[in-house]
Each structure stands twice: as C-alpha cells, then as structure tokens.
Structure 1
Amino acid sequence: MLTVLGLVLCLAAAGLAPAPVLAADSPEQAQQYRYALGLVQRQLYEEAERVLNKIVTDPAPFSLRDGALFWLAECRYRTKDWTGAAAAYSQVLRDFPASTFRDRAAYGLGWTHIKDNNPKSAVESLALVSRSDARLWTDARLKMGFLMVKYGFDAAETQAVYEEILAQSGLTPEQTFEANLQVGIGRFNGSLFEEAAGHFRKALPLAPPDKKAVVQFYIGESLFRNRRYPEAEEALGQVALASPTPELADKATYSLAWCKIKGGRPAEAEPLFLSLATKEGSPVRIEAMRNLIDLLMNLHKYREAATWLAKAVPLFPADEAGELTYLRGLALSRLGEFTESLQVFTTFLKTWPKHARAEDARYQSALVHIAMGKFREAMADLDELLRRETTPGIREKALYRMGECHFNLGALKQAREYFERVIRDYPKGSGRVDALYQLGEIAYQSGDHQGAIDAFGSIADSGSELAPQALFRSGEVLMKAHRFVDAVPVFERYLKDHPQGKLRDDALFKVGLCQLELKDSGKALAAFSQLRDSTGYFRQEARYQIGEIARQVGNFPLAIQQFKAIVAEDPRNPLASRARRAIGTSLYQSKDYDGAAETFKAILKEFPATDVAIPESRLWLGRTLIAQGKQDDGILEVLKVPVLYPRSSLIPEAYAEAARAYATLGKAPKALQMWREVLKFQATGPLADEARAQLK
C-alpha cells in the first residue's frame, strides 16, 4: 500500500510524455506544458508550479488544461500546500469528469485530505476512484479500509470495502492478506466466528513474519468464541512459535488458560494465570490475577487464594478492592482461620459500608461466629440484616440463622418463632424446607412426636432435596414414639424411593430393629442379612444383630460364626469386644464351658479394664467357672463386679450368681448375705423376687 502520494505510479502511467497537442492550442501553450512536465520530472516542483499556474490561469483555450491542473495539484502536494493541492484536484474532478486524470485526481485528493487530517473527506475522495485502473482502484480501496478501521467508521461499510477488494482479481499476496485479515476482523467483531476463522486461515500463509503471530492469535480467539475449545487450545499454542510480541504472547497465554477451564481442566489453567499475575507490565496482569483468584476459590485452594487476595487489594480500584477484601475474608473462613476472617470482614464493613457486598460480609461474619460457637455474637450480626430493606435472599437466610442460633442456645420457643417467620415471610423461598425441617426437630425435642412426624412428612412429600432425609427422620421419630408398626413402612418407602440413598444401610438396619421390637425375628434377620455385603458402619452392626438372633433361637454355631467374622475382619471396631464376649456367651449356652472360659479370660487379658465389655465378661467368666464345678473360683470372679465396678448395672446379677453358688456349696448364711445385697441394688424385678423368696 502506498504511504505517500502515488506520484511515481502516475508518472509511470503517463510517462510524462508530451500529450498530443490539438491544432487549436498555440505553440507557446504546448511548449510551456512540456516545460512544466520536464521540471516535474527533475523534481523542481516550485518552478513547475509557477509555470503550470500560468497555464491554468490563462483564459485562452487549452486542450490539456485538465493535465495542467492535475500536475499543478501534484506539485502543491509535494510542497505540502495541502489546501492548494486539494483545490486543484477538486477542480479536475469538477470541471473534467471524463478526464483521463480523474481517477488519479481522486486518489491524490484522498491523500491530500489524509495529510490534512481529514479522514472522512479522504475516504469520500478515495471512493471516487473507478475500476478503470484496477491497480489504482485496489490501492485506493485498501487505503479507504485502513482509514475506516483506524477512525472507527461504520463496521458494515468498512466490511463492504474489504469484501469488494477480495472480489477483485489480480490482487497481490500482500493485498490478499490485508483484505482477508480485515474481513476476518469484521466477522469476528460481528460474532460470526466460524467465517472469521476461515478468513484468518486464508490470511495466515500470506502474512509477513511480523504479522503471523497476530493472525494465529485471531484464529485461536475465533475458535474459542465458537466454543471449539480443543482446536482453540491448539491454535493458541502455536502463537508462541510465531515470534509474538511480549504483549501478544501474554494475551495468548491468557486465552489459553480459559481454553483449559472451558475444556474441563481448570487445574491446568492455574500455572498459566499464575505466570501472568506475577509478570509486572503485562497487559493482562490484572485480569489474570482476578481470574487466578476466582479459580483458586473454585478449586478450594483457599490458602493460595488468601495469599493472592492480600497482594491484589492494593493493585485494584477502590470498589473492586472491596470485593477482593470480602473474598479474602471468605477464603480465611473456609480455612478455619476464624479470628483473622472476622478481622477482615470488620475492616471491610468499616471501609466500604455501602458496598454491594456489605450485607454478604455481615452474613458471613455471622456464619463465622456460628462456626466458633459464639451464637450471641452471631445474632448481633444477623440482627442488622433483619430490616425489611435488606435484600430478600439475605434477610431470609438471616432469619433462618437466627432460629439456628436460638436452637443451639436451647431457646426452642424463640427458635420456633424465627423458623416460622421464614416460612411465613418467604413461602416460596429457598429456606422454607430447611426451616420446616428445623421445626420438626424442635417438635421432636419438645416431645411432640406427632408434630415432628407431620413436619418431616410434609417435606418428604415435597420432592425437595431434603425429602429423603426427612422421610428417614420421620421413621426415626416413629421409632422413638414406639410406633414400630408405622415406622417399618416409612423405612421401606425410603428404600423403594431412594435405593441408592446415602441412608440406605441405616434404613435397612432400622427396619431390622423395628422387627426385633415387634418380636419378628425372621423379618429382622431378613433385613440385617441385606447388610452383610455393605462396606460401611452397618456391616458389622448387622452381623452382630444376626448373631444375637441366632443365639436367642439356639443356633449357636451361626451366632459364633457371625461374631467371629466381626473380630477377624475389623478387630479395632468398637463392636469387637462385645463380639468376643458374645462368642463366649454362645459357647457357654452351648455348654462348651472350656471354650467359654478361654474366651472370657482372653478378653480380660487383651482389653483395657475400662472397656464396656469387661464387667460383663467377668460376670460370664464367673458363671462359666461355676458351671465347670469351680464354685469358689467362680464366686471370687463374679464378686469382682460389685467391688471393681461399683456403678455397674450388673451388680444385682453378680450377687445373685454368688448366692446360688454358695447355696450349691451348702453355705446358706453366705447365700442369704448375697441375696440381701441383691435387694440393696434392685428392689423390684425378677432378681428381687427371687431374693425375697430365698430370704423367707
């Protein structure tokens, strides 16, 4: 593209050869015209201008007046007389519309307006160049397009110019590149990304070395905007291989990071944003830092996020610095650094009291206080948010948290009032179901089982996220109310509606417990058996219950098998000591006294004295020794229960076993003494009745 007046082009076209002189022209006119052209050829523009000026001001007719005017304009252009040049070019266009100099005059006028800093007139003048000279027309159109892009002319009109150029045959590679590039940019700005990418791809092989990186970047950006992230990632990766400027390299890295995020690999974007955020002077440093912080928060990398937030606050404008300060408080709260988090939220509220995040900051401060167990301090924060002018979503959550604080402080009446306000003030709010659930819990703790069942049942039928949990909870309340017949179908409904629910195993276990309460060992066994293949807590619990059922019906081999499976598979399970004891009792009940004694002795040796199974194991060891005929040893063992464990509920049984053993040995006074001890600890019940009968 020409950067100065196309004088050389015009001279080459005209050859500066003397134009044919008509008979009507005087010899002096023809000689002066040839003289002027010779001066122009020798770049003596001021001299040529004086000669040409005489020709055009001479009133005598002259057939080459249009040429004289054109060269006069050229000379004035060369001497930087923009106004004079424009006047001469304009006169050619006005007075000689059919002149062979017309297109060159329009082109020269366009350049004159460019030099005179008048882009609108320049574009209008260049547009007058006709297609009769394809080379000049193409160059004029390219210059028009350049000006229209540079000065922000109408996008559609600019696109039309470059599309006209592309339709022209005989373009040079440089012109084809420029036209495709600009059409691509126009398509890109018009959100026609597929078409834009096509034009950029055509421009790429024709691009000069210093433009290849730019075109490659545009290809990547077009693909990214068209949501073709894998292809965009590949294209943007090629920018670095095309010797980009540092600024363009940074922009490509920034876009590449977004490709990673959109492609579902956000962790891979982190080092890219990090490299830009640490690069002072990068044109995308601030944006990269902002996105790095958001990414770290979304990846739950709160430590790194908090560190970057502290660095970022001084670099951002005041309003955005407030947002970042809020996020820092949030990150610290997620890290469990509650004291520091509260300090940040307090600073935020003092510095930016009218910030859009002010309500959020106060609410988050309340949540931190709740997490610290400081419910009264939380209520002070929340109280500020209960005003009617508070954003509805925040106010609704504040009401709910106020109820939660009162609930945790044991003020059930006040808690109920706040939860009821949530439901009343926001009947379609997001917290309605949660509030109803809490009302169910309050009813349960207040002994209002039916109220709790109604609340949980309503949620269970709502189809909300809490519905499965509420359905399960209503079954638990029915169990607490001893309504086992009603509880079973509730748990069965849970299992049917939520076969993969997180409470599935718990529901099966509860069905088994209900059936035990209903004295239906068969159905209980069926429920517990479904948990034998589970992998969680209830696997061993179910085995224990199966063992207990088997023991109660006299199937001691099955019972022992279940109890041994618990010990072998999970020796550190809290049930292990009870399972060992149950093995011993099963052996005792099957009259394998030697095996039972060995089992109980091993428990006493291996488990600490504080284990819950120890007192009962001593009692059973004593019984076993007595059953083996070792009454004296058995008596000494059972008496350890009241002596070593004075608060044990097994003391009456221990004295009763000792009394029976003394009676077997014929030591009636000792037996009576033991029965009296039984009555001291148990005034009613089967053992008390037996003791009174013996004392008579």
Structure 2
Amino acid sequence: MAVCGMALKKYAEAAKEFQALRVKYPKGEHLADATYRNAFCLHKLGKYDDSLKLCKTAAASKAFQGPATELIAENLFLLGRYPQAAKVYTTLAKTAKGRAGTNYAFRLGECAYLEGDLAKAVKLLGTLAGDPKTAKDPDLREAIFLFGDALLQTGQHAQAAAALARYVGLAKQVKDEARFKLALAQLRSGKEAEAARTLLVVMQSKADSTWVLQAMFEYGQLTYKQKQPAKAAQVLAKVVASVKAPAELVAPATYLLGWIDLDAGRYPQAAARFGQVVKKFPKHALAPEAAFRQGVALLKTKRYAEALTLLQGYIKANPKGKDVHEARFLTATCLAKLLRHAEAAKILASLADDKDARSETVLYELAWSQRKAKDRAAAAGTYRKLLAAYPSGQLATTARVELGGMLYQDKKFNEAADLLAKALADTKGDPKTLAVARYQLGWCYAKLDKHDKAAETFEAFAAKNAKDELAPSALHQAGLAFSLVGNHAKAQAHFAKLVSGYPAHELAAVTYLKLGQEYNAAGDYEKAATTFATFVRKFPKDKFIYVAQFGTGWSLESRKKYAEARTWYAKVTSSHNGQTAARAQFQTGESYFAEGKLTRAAGELIKVDIIYAYPQWSARALYEAGRVFEQLKRPAQAKAQYELCVKKYASQPVAKLAQKRLEGLGKPAS
C-alpha cells in the first residue's frame, strides 16, 4: 500500500505507512528500503530536515547508499546549506556519468551561485552553459540564466548580455527576471537602445510584478539620462503610485521625479517631491541629499527663509555630507537675499578659508556680500585673492571689471585701467560684462587725460553696443575726446550720430552745442550756424541756449558778418553773465575792431574788465583795447590799458605781450 501511495504521489499517506513499517519491523529485511522511501516522501512533502535524518540512516545500507546520498545532497541544497551540499555533490560527481554527472555539475554551479561565490559559479556553470545539449534541455537550461546572472553580478556585462540573450531566446516562457537582468547587462555594457527595447518588453507584463516595477524604474532612469524627461516622468510616476512597489524603488523614483521638476524649472513641485522622500523615507540613503535639494528648490522659488531653515538643518544633520559645502554656500545666498549681508559674508569667509570648500564662486560671492555690507576694502581684497588664485577662471573677467569699477570710484584710475584692459583681452567673455569694461575703461583714460585712448575706447563701445543704454553717452564722450586731440572730423561724426540716432536722449541738447562748436573749430561756419539754429528750435528754453547764441555769433563773425554777429552776442550778454558772456562782450569789441570802428571797439573792449570777472577775457580785452588806442594814435590811453593788464593779470599769457608793447611805447620794463 505504501509503495502504491508513493507511486500515486500520495506522499503524506505513503510517509505515514513507511514510518509505521519501520516502527513495526525495526529489524526487518525491508527496513533500509522503507527508510529510504520514507525519506523520499518526506522530501517531496518539503520536510527536508526530517528527510535528511532518514537519508543518513538509509545511506548506511549499501543497497541504498547511492540514491540516499543523492537525496542527502538535495535536502541540504533545499535547506540552503550550500557548502555541505556541494561537498556531497562533488563526491557524487566523481563517479557519475551521463545525465547524472551533468545534473551534479549543475547543482554544484547552483550551490556556488546561491552561496554568493559568483566567480566560482561562473567557472562551474560556464562549461555547462556552453554545451549545446544544455540549450535543448528545459531543466538544464536554467544553467544559462544563472551563468549570465553571475557574469552580470561580477561586472562582466557584455558576456552577461550575450548569455542572458541566449537564454531568453531559448526559453518558451521567459521569466520577467531574466529579461530584466538582460536589460541591466545591456545597459551596463553601453547598449542603451537594446536595453530600452528589452525594458519595454518587461514593462508589458503584470504591472505589480517586482521585476516590472524595477524595469519601469530603470527605464525612467535611462530616458532621463537620454534627456527625455516626459517619458521618464510617466513611468516613474507609475512606480511611485504602485502599492506593490518597495521602498527601495519608490524613494529613488520620487527623488528622480524631483530632479525632473527641478530641471524643468517647476521649483514648487520639485520641492514637494524632495520633501516626500525626506518625510516618507527618512532612513533611505537618498534622504539627506533630498533634504538638500528641497532647500535648493525652495531657494529657486524665492522662499529664502524656508530654504535657509532646511539647508541649515541639512548641514547640522550631515556635517560631512557630500553637499555640505554647497549647502553652506547656499545658506549664505539665502542670507544675502534676506539682506543679512554681514552673516552671509561670515559664512562665505569661512568657506574661503577652507581649502576643500574654496572656489572662485565662493570668493566672488564673498566680495559681493562685503560690498553689500559696505566693507569696500575687504571686498577689494577678496577680488584680488580671486584673481590671484583663479587668474583664468570663469569669473576672472567679471571680477576684474567689478574691481576696476570700484577702483575708478576710488579715483585709482591707473590700476582700474590695467584691470579693465585685461578684462577686454578675454574675447570669449560675456558681451555685457565686456561692454561695461570698455565703457569704464574709456572713462579711466579720460580721467588720466589719455584722450587718444579714451576716444578709441568710447568709439569701440558705441560701435559694438549700438543698442546699449550707454551708447549715446559713449558717442558723446568719443566726440569730446576726439575734439581734445584735434580730430574734428571724428568728433563731428560721433556728435552727429548721437543727435540723429538718439534725438530724445538727455545728451542730445548739449551734443548739438558740441557739434556746432566742432563745425566752428573746423571752419565749417555755415553748418555751425545751422546746427545752433536747430538747437534753438528744439530747445528754446534750455539753460545753455546762450552757448548756441554765442556759437551763432562766432560763425557769423568768422564770415565777417559783424553786425549780425553782434546781434547774437548781445543776446548772450543780455541773458547771461558768465564766462561766455565775457567772451561775447570781448568778441563784440573785436568785431568793431575788425570793421575799423576803433572808438566803439575800445569802449566795448574796456567793458569786459569793468563788467566781468574772468581774468582770461579781461586781460585779453585790455590788451586789445591798448592796440585799438595805438591805432587811434592815443599812446597815453594805450599805455594805460597795457599797464592795467600787466598790473591786474600778470599771470595771464597776454600780460607778457602787454609788457612788450609798453616797452615799445617807451615805458621801461618793470
């Protein structure tokens, strides 16, 4: 009955009957047979410990030594006692032939694999996996899978991909695990396109399968890496939403979704994602970095106080974390945004003193915090440290421009010019930064009276930055500088470009005046008159209208239209009493002198010294009055004017001429 039950696979009933026989006939001739069969039934029932005990008894019988030993090995294997099982299989394999030997070889490979001795597993399973007979045998075919997995886990990814692809191609019903591990092998051997296709196949299986969820996560990582964030987000969201997904998948999937939002500028959503990682998985390895990234995202949303609290918490909890230096830097950023510049500077200074945390960015931001805290000297020193440590760094050009600007404000024009010129040597620098450098350099040259260089620099700025708000100013300064070096044509060109290109600019009015003066200086008197007339028409109430009136008078006088010129000079003297009025009065006298109306000329010239207090024009007027009186044959009056000139304005150049005239008229040299 027991044998029949065993044959019918009624192992529980058979086991009871074999056990009863062993108890009833403890010394019977069939004891060994009953013991073995009892052990076999127990094995089939999964009672491996009980089976193992009986197998050891049965193995004492020569008749059942072989099958009992094999069953011992199987029990040990299924009990997870792989080293002991391997010893028994090794003994069995020594004398086994044919299929039995193949089976033992497979079990030995499995023991090594399951024990974690993967290098040994690769060696033991390699021969078996490469045997064509293995591929044809459904039971042995698993050796190919284990071989491929062992290769995968030992970093032999290309070989693993080949073995696993072979296994997948042979099996009629492929396990999700096998396809997933094939995809991993393909990924790690650089075959991303093949891996993506394999992962998609796995993802078509049951959505709650562990392997499907892992495939989704890997596919999400892969597509994110391939800059396909929409695809990545879609599958990662499914992982997060699955109730079957383990924490080791949900945490990194949520974290990666946070990165996708962060990259896309969806900062509130990113902050929420990273916050979920911290809240739901506080012990996960990614939790500290998620806390840090949450702070970063909040900073991006301008929630500086919240970001500061999170970042400070991260630093406190992870004093040696990989992001701690950046976190400290960002706390300083938050403090600066909250206008707590002194605190920000303190943190940045500590980072700058730490060789592991120091960077040109840290030094640059420190300089800015020091500037905001009104510590200009410290800021200048920090800029210099940055330039000394990172002379070719990404921020070096910007630092040179900003330090140059500070030095300009401190009237250290030479040092500022050197820095700004070096900044402009960086042809790959930020165009806006270089524009600022060029404009400031032009001003440095102007302050240093290097008018030729100032002219070239402002001219270059205007040419390169026509749409910049400073372009009109640059054109104006270029015109002034070219005028000072006597290049009237270029001065005119720049002034003309300003008034035509920027007619509504605040500098347009004064530039019309400068343009008219340049035309006069170049002898183009008609253009000068036209330009001044345009000024008067456009700016009839401008406070400098007297300059246009004088310029018009000068253009007429220069064309010997003396009476008309005097009309314009009179407009100046009637509405203005400054130096231009003094000169207008002087030119009035000169115009009469030119016409030969000497008595009137003398009277108008003498008025200059009486009415105005501008030594340059008073001295010249007295000298010219003396010349007029000489032509009137009134030497005494001439001497009186010369003497007054020498006495009152000895420091003026014309006083020397007056002294010579006195000597010529018979007055001893004083």
Of 330, 333, 353, the residue aligned with 1:367 is 333
Report SS of the residue matched to 2:175: helix
C-alpha deviation, 1:433, in angstroms: 7.6
Q: Residue type of the partner of 1:258? A: Q
Of 152, 161, 172, the residue aligned with 2:124 is 161
Of 523, 536, 544, the residue aligned with 1:638 is 536
Report SS of the residue matched to 1:256: helix
Of 178, 192, 198, the residue aligned with 2:162 is 198
C-alpha deviation, 1:129, in angstroms: 2.9
C-alpha deviation, 1:306, in angstroms: 2.0
1:189 match: 153
Of 188, 191, 202, the residue aligned with 1:239 is 202
Query: What is the TM-score normalised by the length of structure 2?
Result: 0.64
Q: Does 1:47 align with 2:21?
A: yes
1:88 match: 57
1:265 match: 228
Query: What is the TM-score normalised by the length of structure 1?
Result: 0.62
Identity percentage of aligned residues: 15
Residues 238/322 of structure 1: CA separation in 2 closer, same or farther (3 Å cut): closer
C-alpha deviation, 1:110, in angstroms: 1.1
Bigger drift between 352-361 and 292-301 goes to 352-361
2:629 match: none
Residues 336/133 of structure 1: CA separation in 2 closer, same or farther (3 Å cut): same
1:407 match: 371
2:254 match: 289
Aligned partners of 2:509, 2:165: CA distance in 1, in Å? 82
Q: Does 1:579 align with 2:501?
A: yes
Q: Is the 8 A contact 2:398 2:423 kept in 1?
A: no
Aligned partners of 1:191, 1:116: CA distance in 2, in Å? 29
Q: Deviations over 1:67-98 (max 9, x none)?
A: x8566434444467545533335435xxx6xx
Aligned partners of 2:65, 2:376: CA distance in 1, in Å? 95
Q: Is the 8 A contact 2:550 2:580 kept in 1?
A: no
Aligned partners of 1:650, 1:469: CA distance in 2, in Å? 38
1:449 match: 413
Q: Is the 8 A contact 1:619 1:637 kept in 2?
A: no
Residues 270/162 of structure 1: CA separation in 2 closer, same or farther (3 Å cut): same
C-alpha deviation, 1:184, in angstroms: 0.7
C-alpha deviation, 1:252, in angstroms: 0.9
Residues 273/302 of structure 1: CA separation in 2 closer, same or farther (3 Å cut): same
Aligned partners of 1:153, 1:640: CA distance in 2, in Å? 93
Aligned partners of 1:436, 1:551: CA distance in 2, in Å? 31
C-alpha deviation, 1:54, in angstroms: 3.8
Aligned partners of 1:147, 1:637: CA distance in 2, in Å? 101
2:171 match: 207
Cα RMSD after superposing both structures: 5.6
Q: Residue type of the partner of 1:653? A: A
Aligned partners of 1:619, 1:293: CA distance in 2, in Å? 61
Q: Residue type of the partner of 2:307? A: S
Residues 452/652 of structure 1: CA separation in 2 closer, same or farther (3 Å cut): closer
Aligned partners of 2:96, 2:318: CA distance in 1, in Å? 68
C-alpha deviation, 1:362, in angstroms: 3.6
C-alpha deviation, 1:345, in angstroms: 3.8
Of 50, 69, 72, the residue aligned with 1:106 is 69
Unaligned runs of 5+ in 1: 1-6, 13-38, 57-67, 525-544, 553-562, 564-574, 582-606, 621-626
Of 278, 283, 288, the residue aligned with 1:313 is 278
2:342 match: 376
Matches within 5 A, 1:389-404: 390=354, 392-394=356-358, 398=362, 400-404=364-368
Q: Is the 8 A contact 2:21 2:34 kept in 1?
A: no
Residues 102/383 of structure 1: CA separation in 2 closer, same or farther (3 Å cut): same
Aligned partners of 2:548, 2:456: CA distance in 1, in Å? 38
Matches within 5 A, 1:422-437: none
C-alpha deviation, 1:312, in angstroms: 3.0
Q: Residue type of the partner of 1:159? A: V
Residues 489/214 of structure 1: CA separation in 2 closer, same or farther (3 Å cut): farther
2:143 match: 179
Matches within 5 A, 1:132-171: 132-150=96-114, 152-167=115-130, 170-171=133-134
Q: Deviations over 1:308-355 (max 9, x none)?
A: 233332123268544333322222323344344345445556776776
C-alpha deviation, 1:223, in angstroms: 0.9
Q: Deviations over 1:45-78 (max 9, x none)?
A: 642686684449xxxxxxxxxxx85664344444
C-alpha deviation, 1:678, in angstroms: 5.5
Aligned partners of 1:493, 1:381: CA distance in 2, in Å? 41
Aligned partners of 1:158, 1:148: CA distance in 2, in Å? 5
Q: Is the 8 A contact 1:452 1:474 kept in 2?
A: no
Q: Deviations over 1:18-44 (max 9, x none)?
A: xxxxxxxxxxxxxxxxxxxxx999975
1:542 match: none
C-alpha deviation, 1:212, in angstroms: 3.4
Residues 651/378 of structure 1: CA separation in 2 closer, same or farther (3 Å cut): farther
Q: Residue type of the partner of 1:549? A: A
C-alpha deviation, 1:202, in angstroms: 1.7
Of 238, 242, 256, the residue aligned with 1:275 is 238
Unaligned runs of 5+ in 2: 516-525, 592-603, 606-670
1:303 match: 268
Of 493, 497, 500, the residue aligned with 1:549 is 493
Residues 55/384 of structure 1: CA separation in 2 closer, same or farther (3 Å cut): same
Aligned partners of 1:310, 1:42: CA distance in 2, in Å? 60
C-alpha deviation, 1:224, in angstroms: 0.7
Bigger drift between 301-310 and 351-360 goes to 351-360
Matches within 5 A, 1:471-510: 473=437, 477=441, 480-482=444-446, 483=450
C-alpha deviation, 1:167, in angstroms: 4.9
Residues 163/351 of structure 1: CA separation in 2 closer, same or farther (3 Å cut): closer
Report SS of the residue matched to 2:91: coil
Residues 191/339 of structure 1: CA separation in 2 closer, same or farther (3 Å cut): same
Residues 450/691 of structure 1: CA separation in 2 closer, same or farther (3 Å cut): same
Bigger drift between 417-426 and 39-48 goes to 39-48
Q: Does 1:675 align with 2:641?
A: no
Aligned partners of 1:323, 1:393: CA distance in 2, in Å? 18
Report SS of the residue matched to 1:255: helix
Q: Residue type of the partner of 1:107? A: E
C-alpha deviation, 1:285, in angstroms: 1.0
Matches within 5 A, 1:118-129: 118-129=81-92
Q: Deviations over 1:579-605 (max 9, x none)?
A: 386xxxxxxxxxxxxxxxxxxxxxxxx
C-alpha deviation, 1:154, in angstroms: 1.4
Residues 638/358 of structure 1: CA separation in 2 closer, same or farther (3 Å cut): same
Aligned partners of 1:219, 1:489: CA distance in 2, in Å? 68
Q: Residue type of the partner of 1:88? A: T
C-alpha deviation, 1:250, in angstroms: 1.8
Bigger drift between 103-112 and 469-478 goes to 469-478
Q: Does 1:418 align with 2:382?
A: yes
Residues 549/189 of structure 1: CA separation in 2 closer, same or farther (3 Å cut): same
Report SS of the residue matched to 1:191: coil
Q: Residue type of the partner of 1:47? A: L
Q: Does 1:218 align with 2:192?
A: no
Q: Deviations over 1:611-650 (max 9, x none)?
A: 7658989999xxxxxx9xxx9xx9999388453x44xx44
Report SS of the residue matched to 1:157: helix
Residues 170/11 of structure 1: CA separation in 2 closer, same or farther (3 Å cut): farther
Q: Is the 8 A contact 2:180 2:198 kept in 1?
A: yes
Q: Residue type of the partner of 1:674? A: K
Aligned partners of 1:618, 1:425: CA distance in 2, in Å? 49
Residues 436/353 of structure 1: CA separation in 2 closer, same or farther (3 Å cut): same
Aligned partners of 2:400, 2:554: CA distance in 1, in Å? 57
